[in-house]
Amino acid sequence: MAVNRRRTEKIVNAHPIHDEPAFIVEHPKSGIGNILIIADIHYGIEHTIALAGAHLPSQTEVITEHILKLCSKNSVTELILVGDIKHTVPKTSNQEWYELPKVFETLSSALESVHIIPGNHDGGLRKLIPDDLANIELHPNSGAVIHGFGFFHGHTWPAPHVLNPPKAITLMAHNHPHVLFIDKLGGRASYSCWVRGHLNMARAVDRYPGIKDTGPEIIIMPAFNDLGSGTPVNTAKPEFLGPMLKNRFVDIENVNVYLLDGTDLGKLPDIVELSEIKRKHFVN
């Protein structure tokens, strides 16, 4: 998956981590280590699942340990969380009140800095971050530019500067993208994926007139927590979430889709066509 290098301040190695729903920026600036980027952790989702009748043990420690192992293995000193750190909305569950402050203390002690881009599930998140953790920064809902890269969760319109980052790459989340495979017998399997493309400039320039060239490469991140639902991107009419995608500010017809192992599935319309052929074959 080649990184778009237009208008970059400096060539950096930025890419998904093989077989992980995580993105890494290697040595973005002298004097700091690597940056790990993950999204849609949904700590506390077990509480919501329990309300539906299925009781699961808390996965908070398992998830946090997974994050720390990725940081250690990849020499990460800085973590960027692109929204939906907690799960319960509109309130905060007892599980989240008890577990999230401990999570933030753990991450704070293990890393030099932690950046949080709030998502639609993160109402009240600031109250869960202990006041003495000075190296945890909560950014605006409209996103932020960090080390030259743009970040926004996707449930709100991003700020103009988020779509004009110096490195010409903007990462978003919110959709939990999946690829749906259908075999000849109608069997279905769904897998997390990365979606990479660019802005639909015909629409974007009206709202963001300051965008340079063709805008940044837009990377839609998979969810870090696989207990939640996902958006099948290759159905005939995918139900994308958030104003950027619902209003076609991203050129969906020309995005490329990749599995977590790096498999390039090609452009989205080609995958949709293949899926539809298999579905029609099964129905007939």
CA–CA separation, 50 vs 87, rounded Å?
13
Per the confidence metrics, is the pTM higher than 0.85? Answer: yes
CA–CA gap between residue 42 and residue 226 (Å, rounded): 9
Distance from C-alpha of 109 to C-alpha of 132, rounded to nearest angstrom: 11
pLDDT at position 53: 79
Q: Tens digits of per-residue pLDDT, 232-283?
A: 999 888 889 999 999 999 999 999 999 999 999 999 998 885 555 444 443 3
Range with the poorest average pLDDT among 4-13, 35-44, 84-93, 168-177: 4-13
Strand partners of residue 80: 37, 115
Higher pLDDT residue, 158 or 272?
158
Please, what is the angle between helix 60-73 and helix 94-110, to 10°? Answer: 20
- The class of domain 13-283 in CATH terms is alpha beta
**Residue 17, pLDDT above cutoff 70:** yes
Nearest to 39 by CA among 125, 130, 121: 121
Phi, psi of 46 (to 5 degrees): -60, -30
User: Alpha-carbon dihedral of residues 75, 263, 6, 205, nearest 10 degrees?
Assistant: -120
pLDDT of 215 > 60? The answer is yes
Q: What pLDDT is stored for residue 214 in this prediction? A: 83
Flag the least confident range among 33-37, 100-104, 125-129, 178-182: 178-182
